[in-house]
Amino acid sequence: MTFENEYGAFTIDKRGASLVMLRLGKQHLIHDFGIEKYNWASGAVMFPFPVRMSTGTVMQFGDNNFKWPINDDNHKAALHGLTPWIDFKLTLHDNGISCEYEYDGTLEYYPFPNRLTITYTLESKSFLLKARIENMGTENMPYHIGWHPYFNLDSSFALTPSPKFRLAKDEHSLPRNKVPFLGFDWNDEVDGAFYMRDICIENENYQVNVTSCSEITQVFRPQGAPFIALEPITGLGHNDFPWRTVAPNSYDEVSCSIRL
């Protein structure tokens, strides 16, 4: 589904409520993977956890350990939660598109009925995502949420500002302890969580600013690729980032943005 107004245009795929095209003014910002977009989780919403948990497969909440199935064989981990592979219901509005998914809680590794509503809006030189997470069950519900947009890069791009800290990774790319950031050539392969709330991509003719929904952002780029994923996340399944919790019959809201 495509929305267009005087500020630009964007396209949302119902699979994963995924942002697959964004134009602000005349500038196209999102990398086009074509028929490979699902393999890259391009633009997808990641819920009830983004990326990988520090345990690999176990969501630890209170006295319970919910063991998720492995869907990332290379890293022996659960990856990106449920929603990148789920079809949302899309609705066109005057100022954007809303995407709704209602989950009945039947999976034993996430027994928490909920309704997830993603609203995308387009304003002057800015694109906004707002997530509303409603607990439709009778128990407190744990979650984190993230977003997986890929941005076009020029060969001479720069990423600023430089973070002061990052999360270390183990041999399976699972997040570990907070460590100082000692510098990095962003042209090398990168896949990790960095303490960066606001990130600027400086391309030759324009700058893109991404504001995350917490103090960390996941950054992913294969070496030499003409794109980079800057992934706003509320946190990871990690001791430094306790699960956000929604009480029964209540809701939580999260937002992040892209600005030109």
pTM for the whole thing?
Answer: 0.94
| Cα separation, 197 vs 151, whole angstroms | 17
Domains and CATH numbers, the chain: 2-259 (2.70.98.10)
Comparing CA positions, the residue from 229, 227, 209, 87 lying closest to residue 160 is 209
pLDDT in tens, the chain (260 residues): 999 999 999 999 999 999 999 999 999 999 999 999 999 999 999 999 999 998 899 999 999 999 999 999 988 899 999 999 999 999 999 999 999 999 999 999 999 999 999 999 999 999 999 999 999 999 999 999 999 999 999 888 888 888 999 999 888 888 999 999 988 777 888 889 999 999 999 998 899 999 999 999 999 999 999 999 999 999 988 888 999 999 999 999 999 999 99
- Three-state secondary structure along the chain? CEEEECCEEEEEECECCEEEEEEECCEECECCCHHHHHHHCCCCEEECCCCCCCCCCEEEECCEEEECCCCEHHHCECCCECHHHCECEEEEECCEEEEEEEECCCCCCCCCCEEEEEEEEEECCEEEEEEEEEECCCCCEEECCEECCEEECCCCCEEECCCCEEEEECCCCCEEEEEECCCCCCCCCEEEEECCCEEEEECCCCEEEEECCCCCEEEEECCCCCEEEEEEECCCCECCECCEEECCCCEEEEEEEEEC
